[in-house]
Structure 1
Amino acid sequence: MQLRDALDDYKRHRDDRTRFPGERRTRTGRFSGYDGRLIHVDEDGSIRDFSYPVFGLTGIARSRFGVRPVDSSVEELESQTAWFDTQSNRQRYHEDTALVVTDHETEYGTVTQYDLTLENIHVTHFDTNGADASLALVAVIGFAPDGRNTRIGQLHHDDAIEVYHASETDYLASATGFERVRGSAFGGFAELLDETPTEYPRAEPEKSYDEDLLSGDSLCVIPTSEGKATVTTLLTTRATKSRKAALDTVRTATAYDGGALEHAAKKQTERSVSSDLPHADAIATDLRVLSLLTGRSGLRIAGPEFDPYYAHSGGYGYSWFRDDAEISRFLFDADRQFDLGLGDWHTRSGAAYAETQLDDGSWPHRVWSFDTTLAPGWANSRIEGIGNEYQADQTASVTAFIGQCTDRGDVLERALDGLDDALADDGRPVTCQNAWEDMSGRFGHTAAVFLEAYAASAASNTADLTERATERADTVYEAIDDLWVDERGIYALREYGDGHEKRGTLDERCDSATLALANAHRAYARIGDIDADRLDRLVSHVEQVIDELWHDGSAVSGLVRYEGDRWRQREQPHEKIWTVSTAWGAHAAASLAAVLTDHGDERADRLAETARELLALILPSGPLSLDTGYLPEQVFDDGTPDSATPLGWPHALRTATIALMDEYDLLEEQPVTADG
């Protein structure tokens, strides 16, 4: 997203009740891309690269497609073009692949669009045979090589265009060549500052030929052959591919038609999910989403980068070790239950964690998923050597995964060193940042993940580490009761930490992150005994937190993040519902039901029912899931999705919850539907 796009969006949506102006949203449309570019295909057929965080190249910043009769004159281009974003559209995935199929009902008839990303190539094929007239394709595509929107040049050929800056070069090719092509330069400062949004493409510019070619945007009229046309784009760098080789590659890819794309998509799909599995549609969607969000290194970004200018957030297109390791652990659990064939994913994750571990055994705030280098962040005090701006739960989450499913004893030993260094004498983690990255203190969630990390390490039977990890797990287990709030029957959000005027007192609010205590105790039960008092407190905590954070909006229901959360509310007076919090509630209830079942405790049935009710809200048929099956991070009361879409964390939680409930036969009853 370029600044001009952000400003244009700001002009369009600055007074909107549920849109944050200046963002590029993915609340509609679908993504395509495995182990390469990440392309968003909106419902109107427009395509954009969200590739930089996973691939390291920028690519397409904006686009628009339409059709016009073949006998239209140049002067009639605007008046005769039926732009797809002004038409009725229907979109779907082709079976269980990442091939996106969009049907456009235009004034001339039906046009079908196929989109598939193949590593660094994206293919867009159009079939106009459903139309009543002979049509030509009109395409406007704007590239941003090296993330630039200025100092860009174009080279035009009969059937291809090169757009370049310094390192990155982006290529566009047409199977049927170009009937007409011109660059499309943007206006000057006055246009950027004008309160009126800019139309795209701009009207025929009154600019010289050379100015027109010093931009990243091209307007192309593309003839069809037997009613079909294929457009391909390629992202590369001068260092990795010569111009001749790149042109040959992008031209060769134009041979794909609809049938060839369906075949390529099936071949590309890593694995299929058996229809015999419970909620197979949800699991298939979750695996597709997590594949889409995986970068070259094997690490996953939190979600598509919708806010690159940090206008309303701190960015999402990075790999957090908390999110990624939690996803890895959830996938490992699901794979163990359902035999999903994810062994290569687990191996790749373990290798990436080993590569990124710091000398002190901890992990940094966030890294780029395309090469694991340090990414912009604000919680790197372990690297800086001063302060407590460090998210200790991230290191604990990675440690839990390594202890659970790898044989990397060297990495695990250093990770335990890092955890021990962040453990205070009273048995709980020291002052640090929380999972939501908006507070400092000594958090219930951080203590929960430490307990799980030590328990998983102890259960790994790694030589010379079992006794040490068991001792630490016992210590944290005992210390967790320091956070108990008897009046509310919950474990506190945090104890106020160093530097806070309330240091040493408890923040007694409910926090959905503390629901992690349920699964942490399930892990601890493998190496230690959970006493009756602790079980009573866990039951009270999970039920009270879910009850207190439950919110009925006008169109949706679910759990809010924590009491008093005011982030990204826009005009809404109440905290927003979060899919990850709702999914966490379902997983926590299922985890505690599993623990209670193992103890022969009849309260397991009550928790299982709660798990089913919450799970129903995030299943593909539930109100918090979009028509695509995607789970957005947040939802307004009126049902409008917001923030990163799809967000990887709740997708992994959804599959892990299904697997856990299947393991303990908690899915016997039909889930509660959205309206009943």
Structure 2
Amino acid sequence: MQLRDALDDVKRVEGTDARFPGERRTTTGLFSGLTPDEDARAADARLVYVDRDGTTTDFSYPLTGLTGVSRARLGLRIDGESVWFDGCETTDQTYHEDTALVVTDHRIPDGDVTATQYDLTVGAAHLTHVTVDAPADASVELVGFYGFSPDGRDTQVAQLRHERSVELFHAAEHDYLTSATGFSSVTGQVPPSFAELLADDPVERPRGVDAGRYEEETLSGDVLCTAPVEAGAATLATLLTDADQVGRETALTRLDTLAEEFTEATALERAAHEQVTRSAPGPCPDAAAADLRVLSALSAGTGLRIAGPDFDPYYAHSGGYGYTWFRDDAEIALFCLEADQRFDLDLGAWHARSAAAYRTAQRADGSLPHRVWPRDGRLAPGWANGRLEAGDGTDYQADQTASVVTFLARALDAGVVDPATVEGTLDSALASLDETLAADGLPKSCQNAWEDATGRFAHTAATFLEAYSAAGALDGRPVAEERAEQVYDAVDDLWVGERSAYAYRLTGDGERDDRIDSASLALVAAHREYDRVHGVDDERLDRLVAHVGTVLDVLHRDPDESAVEGLVRYEGDPWRQDGQDAPKVWTVSTAWGANAAAHLAALLTDHDDPRAETVAVRARDLLALVLPDGPLSTSGGYLPEQFFDDGTPDSATPLGWPHALRLATVALLDERGLLAADPTVATLDD
């Protein structure tokens, strides 16, 4: 998304119900793009969004370093008149079976013409194949308007015209557009002028050709093209390349191959099925298929994942999402490991790549930085790099390093990674945790999981407890065992008897902030890990039951109060409310509630505690909210980060973290035989 596009969106949504102008929203459409497990170039992690109106946009930069297509409109030219799909009725949009092939059906107004649009990302290429059902006497062409931004530029871009393709470039990045049936016409357009940008009305694109601009044809990233429809179909393809790695002749040969191979929808369907190397398992196959598809789409070739598509690249209303956080990524890696152990998903390559990426990104002191570019693990823009700069180190998120420790320890224990390459990373990360653990057994003051406060948080303590427990379960790490016991004892300092819950944090003054926080649900999985070696005592077990009950009750948004049901992030959360009085429902918090309840039910079962089934009921109820047919899932099976009370999804969509939580929760409940409902069980208070 270029600044011109952001300003244009501001103009288009001004005075409407749309929130947060200037963003490129992904809450209504679907993404096409799966990252190959092996032998993939960086550019092969390309991620393309297909909105319900048929427009397409690249979200590839964080994964590939290539910007690609900033905007693309598609339509038909029927008897000489252009009709854009974004002005037509979209009758359906779905994935083809369990693949990443997006199928969108359009109905042309005031006529008997229909079109089906097939979008598939194949490595660094993206294919849009359109089939047309029109009267035999109609003259029909496919029309496309593409705005390319090579090297992130929408100016100082030039075009080269080849026999059947167009090449667009600034410096290193060279992008290509081709048609399987050739082009009837190709026209370039320079970007809107300053006067157009400052005008009150948005700029309609494509615009009319300005005969006075001699450079318009070639000094532009914008291309308006028409392609013949032959045998009722036409195909347009784009290809992104780094010219230092892929030469022009190689790229043009690749385009010719694409044009020859993908002339029919069945060819795209076959290619889409070849991309899916694992089946959707278990009792919720639709959810599993969606989760694996999303987690693959958000992955770079390194195995690192962006948190979600970067819908706000100018930080107008957030701090950006197209980066790797080691908290999210390691949690996702752990959840994938747990699901793989249950359902045999063949994710060995995922586990190995995650471990290797953590080793590459780890700092000399054993810690992990705030966030990195997933394509190469380099430091990315952030605000929590306290261990990289002068100061007291408070602006550092210690839970991120702890989450990496837990995954590495569990992966070693499961035998899915090479000890020779992982143990050094694990031990260095443990040393970093030791350095950030205070003498009283709680982590030192740092930033929280939500990145909006500092203190000594229950969530951070939970990640330390789980990390030390997982590492202590391995041979030869008695210090980790001792640290786990130390943190376990210190957790009592966070107990708030009046609320029957653990506190949000201890402030810098040592005062307890007793607000209820969904991130504190991490205490349950941490105690279950601790229970493997040391055993959780009865009093702590009672407190965990009480804590989970309090968190789920206090943060629950009742459907009588809003159009959506689920859990808010924490008491008093003000973020992205846009005039809404109450905190918004978060899918991460809701899925976390389901996962924590599932872990608690398993822990209670291990202790022969009859409250297990009661807790399992709550796990199933919360899980139902985030399943594909639940109220917090889009029609495409995506979990947006947040929802407004009126049911409008908001923020990064899909968000990887809740998808992995959903996958792991189904696996855990299935493993323990707790997915079957028992209507005779009522409340935790029983």
TM range (shorter): over 0.9
**Contact in 2 for aligned 1:424/1:430 (Cα 8 Å):** yes
- 2:521 is aligned to 515
- 2:107 is aligned to 105
1:654 is aligned to 2:655: no
Superposed CA offset, 1:114-135 (max 9, x none): 1111111111111113566331
Instruction: Output the amino acid matched with 1:333.
Output: E
Instruction: Output the amino acid matched with 1:426.
Output: D
1:26 is aligned to 2:34: no
- 1:5 is aligned to 5
Note the C-alpha offset of 1:340: 1.2
- Do the aligned partners of residues 583 and 671 (structure 1) sit closer, same or farther apart at CA in structure 2, a change above 3 Å counting? farther
d(CA) in 2 for partners of 1:88 and 1:242? 41
Unaligned runs of 5+ in 1: 73-79, 498-502
Unaligned runs of 5+ in 2: 36-44, 413-418, 681-686
Note the C-alpha offset of 1:206: 4.4
1:391 is aligned to 2:397: yes
Q: 5 Å matches for 1:109-128?
A: 109-128=113-132
Note the C-alpha offset of 1:207: 3.6
- 2:467 is aligned to 453
Note the C-alpha offset of 1:18: 4.8
Instruction: Output the amino acid matched with 2:471.
Output: S
TM-score by length of 2: 0.93
- 2:62 is aligned to 53
d(CA) in 2 for partners of 1:213 and 1:570? 43
Q: Report the secondary structure of 1:68's partner residue.
A: strand
- 2:547 is aligned to 541
Instruction: Output the amino acid matched with 1:83.
Output: W
Instruction: Output the amino acid matched with 2:20.
Output: F
- Do the aligned partners of residues 671 and 248 (structure 1) sit closer, same or farther apart at CA in structure 2, a change above 3 Å counting? farther
Q: 1:403 aligns with which of 394, 409, 423?
A: 409
Instruction: Output the amino acid matched with 1:314.
Output: G
- After superposing the two structures, state which structure 1 stretch, 450-459 or 528-537, moved more: 528-537
d(CA) in 2 for partners of 1:404 and 1:384? 32
- Do the aligned partners of residues 424 and 216 (structure 1) sit closer, same or farther apart at CA in structure 2, a change above 3 Å counting? same
- Do the aligned partners of residues 412 and 671 (structure 1) sit closer, same or farther apart at CA in structure 2, a change above 3 Å counting? farther
d(CA) in 2 for partners of 1:456 and 1:14? 52
Note the C-alpha offset of 1:439: 0.4
- 1:273 is aligned to 280
Superposed CA offset, 1:238-276 (max 9, x none): 2112222212212221120211111111111121113xx
Note the C-alpha offset of 1:17: 4.2
Note the C-alpha offset of 1:491: 0.5
Note the C-alpha offset of 1:344: 1.2
**Contact in 1 for aligned 2:26/2:51 (Cα 8 Å):** yes
1:258 is aligned to 2:265: yes
Alpha-carbon RMSD: 1.4
d(CA) in 2 for partners of 1:282 and 1:659? 11
d(CA) in 1 for partners of 2:405 and 2:103? 41
- 2:617 is aligned to 609
Q: Report the secondary structure of 1:209's partner residue.
A: coil
Q: Report the secondary structure of 1:530's partner residue.
A: coil
d(CA) in 2 for partners of 1:562 and 1:453? 24
Note the C-alpha offset of 1:671: 10
d(CA) in 2 for partners of 1:439 and 1:294? 29
1:325 is aligned to 2:330: yes
d(CA) in 2 for partners of 1:670 and 1:305? 41
Instruction: Output the amino acid matched with 1:54.
Output: L
Note the C-alpha offset of 1:214: 1.4
1:432 is aligned to 2:410: no
**Contact in 2 for aligned 1:18/1:570 (Cα 8 Å):** no
- 1:491 is aligned to 502
Q: 5 Å matches for 1:121-200?
A: 121-129=125-133, 133-200=138-205
1:242 is aligned to 2:251: no
d(CA) in 2 for partners of 1:237 and 1:266? 28
- 1:526 is aligned to 532
d(CA) in 2 for partners of 1:18 and 1:494? 35
d(CA) in 2 for partners of 1:320 and 1:207? 49
Q: Report the secondary structure of 1:181's partner residue.
A: strand
Note the C-alpha offset of 1:46: 1.2
- 2:41 is aligned to none
1:476 is aligned to 2:487: yes
d(CA) in 1 for partners of 2:218 and 2:678? 60
Q: 5 Å matches for 1:530-609?
A: 530-552=536-558, 553-609=561-617
**Contact in 2 for aligned 1:31/1:40 (Cα 8 Å):** yes
d(CA) in 2 for partners of 1:85 and 1:166? 32
Superposed CA offset, 1:297-343 (max 9, x none): 11010000100000000000000000000001111111111111111
Instruction: Output the amino acid matched with 1:473.
Output: A
**Contact in 1 for aligned 2:154/2:220 (Cα 8 Å):** yes
Q: Report the secondary structure of 2:341's partner residue.
A: helix
1:43 is aligned to 2:44: no
d(CA) in 2 for partners of 1:131 and 1:430? 72
Superposed CA offset, 1:100-120 (max 9, x none): 111111134111111111111
**Contact in 1 for aligned 2:210/2:216 (Cα 8 Å):** no
**Contact in 2 for aligned 1:483/1:494 (Cα 8 Å):** yes
- Do the aligned partners of residues 130 and 614 (structure 1) sit closer, same or farther apart at CA in structure 2, a change above 3 Å counting? farther
**Contact in 2 for aligned 1:129/1:228 (Cα 8 Å):** no
d(CA) in 2 for partners of 1:386 and 1:417? 20
Q: How many residues are matched? A: 654
Identity %: 58
Instruction: Output the amino acid matched with 1:49.
Output: D
Q: Report the secondary structure of 2:380's partner residue.
A: coil
**Contact in 1 for aligned 2:175/2:238 (Cα 8 Å):** yes
Instruction: Output the amino acid matched with 1:513.
Output: A
Note the C-alpha offset of 1:193: 1.4
d(CA) in 1 for partners of 2:157 and 2:645? 43
d(CA) in 2 for partners of 1:207 and 1:95? 50
1:630 is aligned to 2:630: no
- 2:39 is aligned to none
d(CA) in 2 for partners of 1:39 and 1:555? 30
Instruction: Output the amino acid matched with 1:44.
Output: D
Q: 1:356 aligns with which of 355, 361, 377?
A: 361
d(CA) in 2 for partners of 1:14 and 1:605? 50
- 2:512 is aligned to 506
Superposed CA offset, 1:624-662 (max 9, x none): 001000000000111110000000000000011111111
Q: Report the secondary structure of 1:200's partner residue.
A: coil
Superposed CA offset, 1:76-104 (max 9, x none): xxxx2111011111111111111111111
d(CA) in 1 for partners of 2:144 and 2:174? 19
Instruction: Output the amino acid matched with 1:648.
Output: G
